[in-house]
Amino acid sequence: MSISVLGAGAWGTAVAIRLAGAHSLRLWTRSPEQAAAMAAQRVNSRYLPGQALPANLLPTADLDAALAGADWLISAVPSSGFRPLLQTLCERGTQTPLIWLCKGFEAGSRRLPHEVLEEAWPEHPPAAVLSGPSFALEVARGLPAALTVASRDAEFARRAAQALHDPRLRLYASTDVVGVELGGAVKNVIAIAAGISDGLGFGLNARAALVTRGLAELTRLGLHLGGHPETFMGLSGMGDLILTCTGDLSRNRQVGMRLAAGESLEGALRQLGHVAEGVTTALELDVLADSLQVDMPITRAVAGILRGEMPPREAVTALLARELKDEAI
């Protein structure tokens, strides 16, 4: 089977490496220089250094070549690049099944990826989101992981899970696109909060409280938007939240730790060298939650820190000083 991964960041490269064991893979990047470097060095030295590209993985900057003959397309561009890519695919009349990996809300519109898809490509082919607890480096190394593939078409979700299944990458099918996407988005915001807490030295108890109440925020919003309760207890909900809030490979947690150390947001992102989807998501999610009258205090605190309205320690103090209430979703 021929698969084309569109987007050669860390996650796109990792998925391409993992799937190349059983399929013919093309890895597309907008940058001819990056494609040439990957082809010559057989490694994505910028985004996933040290992980060799298999011999049957072809890097390319030619989108038409990447699309030609593909049985599956996997969009691995960040949320900011998802709409432009979809518009390009729509213009080319592509009808190859599509799976997207981006997590978060589109800046400005506050649209989830499936909503962007419906707007940018109304006559799109069968499509699904792939999400769950997974770090790019571990997937590229072939360490075991389990993810969720969600599509409103249950049969297509099962077909996608079967097609992309790998002995070290177990896939589960779901029809809860909204719930799976929200899990992938909100967990990045809570991970920034967890990084701030860890960076301030507040300890494991505080981190556990943040993760737990973060799950409550995710569930509260998810139920309001029509997500399924079981999704938030599953891989793309609680599973991804735990991993991203506790793992040292988490970009968003690293951003939080750098902010706690006194770095500016711009400096933290520059040092990171990768996209941290939680930054844009926190700002958009704060506005969305307010408009929907959904209480999300951790998200509100993170957004306030990112906007420079309060320092991290003051934000945490404000969270702890909130009015006492019964524990509930």
Alpha-carbon dihedral 145, 43, 98, 189, rounded to 10 degrees: 60
Residue 168 · residue 142 · CB < 8 Å: yes
* Count of other CB atoms within 10 angstroms of residue 267: 12
CB contact set of 329 (below 8 Å; sequence gap of 6+): 216, 219, 220, 223
Q: What is the DSSP string of 44-99?
A: ETTTEEEEEPPTTEEEES-HHHHHTT-SEEEE-S-HHHHHHHHHHHHHTT--S-EE
DSSP 166: B
Taking Cα atoms as reference points, which of 152, 149, 106 lies closest to residue 129? 149
| Interhelix angle 277-292/177-199, nearest 10 degrees | 110
Continuous H helices in the chain: 10-19, 32-41, 63-67, 79-91, 113-120, 136-140, 154-164, 177-199, 203-224, 229-232, 240-246, 251-260, 265-272, 277-292, 297-306, 312-320
CA-nearest of 81, 236, 64 to 73 is: 64
Helical (H) or strand (E) element with 28: strand 24-28
The answer to whether 187 is a known catalytic residue is yes
The catalytic residue among 111, 187, 220, 253 is: 187
The tokens for 118 are 């419906």
CA–CA separation, 329 and 326 (whole Å) = 10
Which residues are identified as catalytic? 187
